[in-house]
A = this chain, B = another copy of it.
């Protein structure tokens, strides 16, 4: 996921040639049932899960059973996913897209109005305490901080009240979450009644992505946008942001934190 490069470290008066590490960026083209769907710019790791999670998030795959084959050609930067669905993807649907705020995701195969009507309010009896969230964030930070600071990647984790169940990283904050979702779909790991934790900012798309998986609690080290706050309220998602220094801000559905 990282690569050593030669760089020149400078301050006002000195310069020194040294080796440093930067995050790798890898263009991965997703072929879905033989059709070129999109090229994701990602961290070259866990790419089968990324492809499946991406297709799952975009509504093109609905269950593990549909998947008839996944083949990663790492040399050519292509991942082929085949399902038993007949025919290709509606090209007109492709045009209804949102160019997004998303690190790691740019196209959303929906428009807001459509999606908002289709999505159900998340129902879940899950409860966590502020102390549990703070502990979870501490563990999450330890796993993600080194990479986030020096290599510029985002972390995402699937958690329950007891802690982190699954942790993924990617240069794109959307990709990191899709790697979680792809892993869970392929491994029959349930997502309902779970918590998603991310290092990234919460825009409307991240909120939608999590809502589609029926996840009741979304926690970020960063801040949400106003649109994400509004949607979290509408969709019944507990939105926790700016978890740092022993504090957190709860922007919506605070009933699950207590």
Q: Which residues of B contact A223 (CB under 8 A)?
A: 22-23, 150-152
Indicate if the CB atoms of A95 and B36 lie closer than 8 Å.
Answer: yes
Bound: A26/B225 CA distance, A = 9
A40, A94, A106, A112 interface centre (most CB from chain B within 10 Å): A106
Closest to A36 in B: B95
Bound: A100/B42 CA distance, A = 8
Indicate if the CB atoms of A100 and B7 lie closer than 8 Å.
Answer: no
Given contacts A95-B91, A100-B106, contact A249 B7 (CB under 8 A): yes
Bound: A257/B8 CA distance, A = 10
Closest to A150 in B: B223
Closest to A130 in B: B10
Return the contact of A203 from the options B25, B226, B228, B246 (Cβ within 8 A).
B25
Indicate if the CB atoms of B97 and A203 lie closer than 8 Å.
Answer: no
Return the contact of A38 from the options B99, B222, B224, B247 (Cβ within 8 A).
B99
Chain B nearest Cβ from A27, distance in angstroms:
7
Indicate if the CB atoms of B250 and A41 lie closer than 8 Å.
Answer: no
Indicate if the CB atoms of A171 and B10 lie closer than 8 Å.
Answer: no
Return the contact of A100 from the options B23, B41, B112, B225 (Cβ within 8 A).
B41
Q: Which residues of B contact A100 (CB under 8 A)?
A: 41, 104-106, 172
**Which A residues from 208 to 258 make CB contacts under 8 A with B?**
222-229, 246-251, 254, 257
Q: Is A101's CB within 8 Å of the partner chain B? A: yes
Chain B nearest Cβ from A3, distance in angstroms:
4
Return the contact of A25 from the options B9, B12, B95, B225 (Cβ within 8 A).
B225
Bound: A111/B77 CA distance, A = 13
A13-51 CB contact bits vs B (8 Å, 1 = yes)?
101000010111111000000001011111000000000
Q: Is A86's CB within 8 Å of the partner chain B? A: no
Q: Which residues of B contact A201 (CB under 8 A)?
A: 103, 152, 171
Bound: A5/B42 CA distance, A = 34
**Which A residues from 98 to 123 make CB contacts under 8 A with B?**
98-107, 111-112
16 example contacts (A-B, Cβ-Cβ < 8 A) are as follows A7-B249, A8-B249, A10-B130, A10-B250, A11-B247, A11-B248, A15-B254, A22-B226, A27-B98, A27-B204, A39-B98, A39-B111, A41-B205, A91-B91, A99-B104, A101-B175
Given contacts A11-B130, A171-B225, 4 further A-B contacts (CB under 8 A): A7-B250, A8-B250, A41-B99, A101-B172
